[in-house]
Amino acid sequence: MARQKNALTEYLVAAPVEGPGEPTYNKLAKWVSSVTDDSDEETEEVGYYDSDGTPETDIISVKKKYSFEGLYDDADPAMKFIAGMEFETGDERKIMFKQIRSNGDTFEGRATVSDIKVTGGEATEYAAFECSISWDAKPKMTPALP
């Protein structure tokens, strides 16, 4: 596959749906200039007698987390949705999060929004936008259609 720009990866956010029905997603993209994978892996190292005792690394858990940075636009539905959680805690920070990668693979699941910033900076700058979104469990993966 040829190289593809990061901007071809889509990130979508929605309020969780209780009961039957599908979430109504909004694309988190306008004025977003950077998305960083800040994932965390918990590991354990153990050496065994059936080898030479060199420790092997086992991955115990993977916490996928994406940090978004850009400029805040109150007219953008995805940013306004996240900004509305700025002072919330617990379940009020839970969302549905979908990532559609440039190859068409889709990852979707319940997630938590943290580190929300929609103000601050130099007087001459536009309002900043920052947040982190981490899946609460392994997301459902739907492979791209061939």
Query: 63-108, pLDDT tens digit by residue?
Result: 999 999 999 999 999 999 999 999 999 999 999 999 999 999 999 9
Query: 37-75, pLDDT tens digit by residue?
Result: 999 999 999 999 998 999 999 999 999 999 999 999 999
Residue 146's pLDDT is what?
Answer: 79
Q: What is the mean pLDDT of the chain?
A: 95
How far apart CA 138 and CA 87 sit, in angstroms, is 27
Residue 5's pLDDT is what?
Answer: 93
pLDDT band at 145 (very low <50, low <70, confident <90, very high): confident
* Nearest one of 64, 29, 27, 59 to 43, comparing CA atoms: 59
